[in-house]
Amino acid sequence: MPTKKIAVILAGSGVYDGSEIHEATLALLYLSEQGVKIQCFAPNIEQTHVINHLTQKESPETRNVLVESARIARGNVKDVKELTADDFDGLIIPGGFGAAKNLSNFAFKGSDCTVNDDVLTAAKSFAKAEKPIGLICIAPHLAPKIYGRGVICTIGNDENTAAELEKMGAVHQSCDVSNIVEDKANKLISTPAYMLGKNISEVAVGIKKLVTRLIQLTNT
């Protein structure tokens, strides 16, 4: 059987202004354990802003999302403009505020958000090809933009965030940190991770289930 190829879209490096590092690393670990070939991608754009992760205050500097994502990917990251479902069997997008600040502006605009054109084009190519997508933590806010109204997903149980997703046309299902929600019609899997989890061991359970299910769905 040919080796499965999974794409991972990153949004920088660090929970407050990029990809959540635990979530991204766990996803990469569990993909590697499944023996798949992994390729990371990120948009080649400036971050919305830079947060000092020690003080949690905004820092007066600029950083590039692709360059910062290379920290997590150990340099093996490509511009998301190069990503198409033709070359891969599935897609995973970890959370972190960068998913809602750099991949989109959901952190600032909520249900009125827009998504980076290159990220949306890449993700939609997987949906059109009926290839599975896994969205972690806050990343499920992208689901209604990718699939349209009626898509089923979870960000855990935060009522305000869930309400914003539902305004966008998603059907939100509450879910605990150790579980996943699957939209079978769309081959979409989501898990709350740090939207609910208090530590890395808690979020690891749901992320492992998401990766395992996504790999299973590449065979259907």
Quickly list H helices, 104-142. Answer: 106-109, 117-128
Q: Which helix (H) or strand (E) holds 165?
A: helix 159-167
Angle, helices 21-33 vs 65-73, to 10°: value is 50
Q: Which helix (H) or strand (E) holds 97?
A: helix 97-101
Q: Which of 40, 113, 137, 153 is an active site residue?
A: 137
DSSP letters of 169-217? T-EE----TT--EEETTTTEEEE-GGGT-SSHHHHHHHHHHHHHHHHHH
User: Among residues 10, 45, 9, 20, which one has the least CA distance to residue 193?
Assistant: 20
In the residue annotation, 113 being an active-site residue is answered as no
The set of catalytic residues is 137
